[in-house]
Structure 1
Amino acid sequence: MDSVGKMQEEAFKRKERLKALREKKGADNSESKLEGEQLPKPVFRSYKPKDESLQESKLPQVKPSDVTDKIKSHLEAATEEMSIEEVDLINLAPRKPDWDLKRDVAKKLEKLERRTQRAIAELIRERLQASNEDLALAVNAAAVDSRNDDDDDED
């Protein structure tokens, strides 16, 4: 039961520390505002203030520019016929049209390749066990055969 009292004391101490931090933070904020930090002045783009003191924040009235010349030049450029050379479809077509299919199937093929290798190894083990030969003798015989093949190839 003594632990419950201890926990309550710890909670009370924690509340006091948090309260002190909040008061300190609030004092810092109020001091920084009082130190001469000025608020930003508003800028009136489309609003016309009635108060005389806000008239200086108003932006001057801007007259829109004439865009008829720009529009005419764009229209003339669009009406002119452009000479387009014939496009060769062979150059546009990809060289290997199934590259994306190969990319998508590659992961599946890797899994199948691993399974195939395991199955081949298992079949070899079964054949060796069926013929009741010693595994080491069969491996040595295969190694000797491969050496003989290499020697025959060099001649």
Structure 2
Amino acid sequence: MNTLIDAMLELSRTSRLPVLVRLVDLGQLVSAIRAELEVDLLERQVRWKIDALPLVAGDQDLLRQVMQNLLVNAVKYTGKRDEALIEVWAEERADEWTVFVRDNGAGFDPRFQEKLFGVFQRLHRADEFAGTGVGLATVRRIVHRHGGRVWAQGQVEAGATFAFSLPKHL
């Protein structure tokens, strides 16, 4: 219950705190988060493929939450794979950067992809994968506050790709 309360408070904070815009090195953020996650992955075989990531305009702490939620989910939902593959890359568009996180994990039924970003909307049973059902709602809220958008693609047992866009200039 405490975990759920903390998650809800964090979601609420993402709406109230001001967005402190500066240049954020997404590559550095992802490297730091990966290092934190690897401490708990010693018993697993996880292959990371991380391309060069851009400097973006945004709030460092909020964007850290976005990347952390997406990478934690990728690790979590690949937990039943003999070898997990987690890929992170970005694509430059005319007015925005698009960042992708893809895994070869459990995936999801694409008919329900709109539910993914809602609070308490889980597509997997809690006994299969732990979590509060708040992480992707937090991702959506933060990205929207930065003027971007989020989306996902997946297939059951064929992995998932989560993406978000950030305008080049806030």
- TM bracket, shorter-chain basis: under 0.3
The structure richer in strand per residue is: 2
Higher RCO (C-alpha 8 Å, min separation 6): 2
Q: Under a length normalisation based on structure 1, what TM-score does the superposition of the two structures give?
A: 0.20
Q: Under a length normalisation based on structure 2, what TM-score does the superposition of the two structures give?
A: 0.18
